[in-house]
Chains A and B, each alone.
Chain A
């Protein structure tokens, strides 16, 4: 399979990339790791007239310690995220989940920014960005703006990134040792994509749950937070019965798809079961 013909530009800076987007309008598509875009182009489901390759902009790669926050360049590969000592120390949920994305070759090329900007409902990292309450920094012709994860994922394969904008950085708060975490992923062995995935973070205080966060992968067109479950746990005892009861509400307010992998009602069942498991692991119950 061969993509339709396109012109190729490789800007050396974010400003040049933004200028290229401005010049070519909706003809242009940014290329990051290419592990979502190139398969779509080979199937001719996407046929951009101009491909703007972000691969040679050094500023977009790497993890920076910025006080209470880690600033992760959009072009940082999944593998670099998994191996990064700052990520492992301060945001272990991100390293833990990213290690489950695809396979080693996919992680060598695919990027954090690409995975978020693509906004795939079956992608693992959007739900993780939700529970981490990450912020996305976007650069466009009139400068930079910051969008919270809660406002970033708009619809199926649609994010807040404007046509003339580049996602440059993902800002993630540091989480102290008081937080437990877990990503539970249910997938077929030969296909890494989650049928359903659940990201959980729990902060315990004196045997109770001070705060619980739950994010859901592939339970609708966007990654949801399981707000009913989170609410039921605030201040509750961190025991298995309480967690299991709260997990029963995990699929409330979701809109899971039916496809060849699973029917909607089965996805709801998975969301409840995986939420219970993720909460148990994250709270050490």
Chain B
């Protein structure tokens, strides 16, 4: 079995993995990082989105071995501290999804937020249209997207006011 050496939410893991192990299963089943969801399992819904070297990737469409040498951020690493952290420590996108009711059942939310991080890193001041297109890889069955767009707009404003580019980790391609 090949070895992988990967940094996930700031912690380094050196592991043996079967080549066919999907990244999402490594995260959920091996590391217990169940904040990252599997929705469709067919590369369409984006519920499984994590950041790989700073850019959004569907972790159901990536092998764990492909992540060797990379830096990964999941929804559980976004707030910085241990676990989810206290509400005041949340990332501005997490706060905004809460405040703007950007979720109903919440199943799509981890992926929505990680894709939104990627979007705001590339484009700190997106128009409504750019937000909708930027989240094309994430499907939501509940909200009708309206409040998701509002949440991203609110967080974008918050991040711009704070002077932060919204970056979590580097490595933008």
B55 touches A103 (CB 8 A): no
Give the complex CA separation of A186 and B62 in angstroms.
28
A39 touches B42 (CB 8 A): yes
The reply on A192 being an interface residue by CB < 8 A is: yes
B63 touches A38 (CB 8 A): yes
A53 touches B61 (CB 8 A): no
Give the complex CA separation of A41 and B66 in angstroms.
15
B19 touches A7 (CB 8 A): yes
Contact of B136 among A51, A77, A103 (CB under 8 A): A103
Complex interface: chain A residues within 8 A of B173 (CB): 77, 79-80, 83, 108
Give the complex CA separation of A30 and B173 in angstroms.
22
Q: Which of B1-54 contact A (CB under 8 A)?
A: 2, 18-20, 22, 25, 41-44, 46, 49, 52
A3 touches B20 (CB 8 A): yes
Give the complex CA separation of A10 and B63 in angstroms.
13
Known: A2-B20, A39-B61. A106 touches B41 (CB 8 A): no
Q: Which of B103-150 contact A (CB under 8 A)?
A: 115, 118-119, 134, 136-139
Complex interface: chain B residues within 8 A of A2 (CB): 20, 22, 25
Range for the number of chain A residues in contact with chain B: 20 to 34
Contact of A104 among B20, B44, B134 (CB under 8 A): B134
Complex interface: chain A residues within 8 A of B119 (CB): 104
B66 touches A192 (CB 8 A): no
The reply on A257 being an interface residue by CB < 8 A is: no
The reply on A34 being an interface residue by CB < 8 A is: yes
Range for the number of chain B residues in contact with chain A: 20 to 34
B11 to chain A, nearest CB (A): 23
Give the complex CA separation of A53 and B137 in angstroms.
24
The reply on B57 being an interface residue by CB < 8 A is: yes
Binary CB contact string for chain A from 238 to 263 against chain B (1 if under 8 A, 0 otherwise): 00000000000000000000000000
Question: CB-nearest residue of chain A relative to B62?
Answer: A34
Give the complex CA separation of A222 and B2 in angstroms.
38
Give the complex CA separation of A182 and B119 in angstroms.
25
B residues apposed to A, CB below 8 Å = 2, 18-20, 22, 25, 41-44, 46, 49, 52, 55-58, 61-63, 65-66, 115, 118-119, 134, 136-139, 173
A residues apposed to B, CB below 8 Å = 1-8, 10, 31, 34-35, 38-39, 41-42, 51, 53, 55, 77, 79-80, 83, 102-106, 108-109, 190-192
